[in-house]
């Protein structure tokens, strides 16, 4: 029964739908995005069990835990700078972490190439590493997280297009546009909260 559920086309379809819902709700700053994110990771865990990809199974279990964490952080609704729940991070930290992720991803992909499914393991490992980092930024509602997601989704579009997975690549192409809107919307939400704090 577990295998039939994991390999059923409807499971992957539901995972894609919940993933799109997660991104849209996240772009709106809606806490329910984390419920959709948990469902997405839960469904993809079964999809990858059926596809015999243990590395991706482990990654989605991590995403489930991060979704629970994201929900708990957003529930607090705290304002780190005293103005808005949406803030900008430190550019220097982003450069350091991004460089570290790229170096680590290159090393892991060279040491464990069988872990990755694409013909470009370094590229795939980098996308996975940056996705985890961008999710952490999303948890803390850093506005520039959407810039990371734009790059990640564009890279995923290229990756899946080259793997001839056209439907998935089209989905990621659409996510590039949603990510751009997310960046615009979070900046707008911050401006609104800033004006409200001034009036008070």
**Tokens, residue 98:** 């991004």
**pLDDT single digits (tens) 75-89:** 987 777 677 889 999
Q: Is the pLDDT of residue 65 over 90?
A: yes
Cα distance between residue 55 and residue 70, in whole Å:
22
Q: b or e along 103-136 (b: 16 or more beta carbons within 10 Å of the residue's beta carbon)?
A: eebbebbeeeeebbeeeebbbbbbbbbbbebbbe
Helix (H) or strand (E) holding 56: helix 54-76
Stated pTM of the model: 0.87
Structure letter (DSSP) for residue 143 = T
**pLDDT single digits (tens) 114-150:** 666 656 777 778 888 899 999 999 999 999 999 999 9
Instruction: Return the SS3 of 87.
Output: strand
């Amino acid at each position: 029964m577990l295998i039939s559920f994991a390999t059923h086309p409807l499971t992957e379809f539901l995972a894609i739908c919940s993933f799109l819902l997660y991104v849209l709700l996240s772009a709106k700053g809606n806490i329910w995005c984390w419920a959709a994110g948990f469902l997405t990771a839960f469904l993809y865990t079964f999809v990858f069990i059926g596809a015999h990809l243990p590395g991706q199974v482990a990654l989605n279990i991590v995403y489930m835990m991060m979704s629970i964490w994201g929900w708990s952080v957003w529930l607090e609704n705290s304002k780190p700078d005293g103005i808005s729940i949406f803030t900008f991070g430190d550019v220097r930290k982003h450069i350091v972490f991004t460089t570290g992720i790229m170096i680590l991803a290159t090393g892991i992909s060279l040491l464990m190439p069988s872990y990755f499914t694409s013909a470009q393991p370094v590229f795939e490992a980098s996308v996975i590493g940056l996705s985890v980092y961008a999710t952490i930024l999303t948890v803390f509602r850093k506005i520039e997280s959407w810039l990371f997601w734009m790059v990640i989704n564009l890279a995923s579009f290229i990756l899946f297009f080259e793997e001839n997975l056209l439907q998935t690549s089209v989905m990621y192409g659409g996510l590039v546009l949603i990510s751009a809107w997310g960046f615009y919307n979070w900046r707008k939400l911050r401006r609104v909260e800033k004006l409200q704090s001034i009036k008070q």
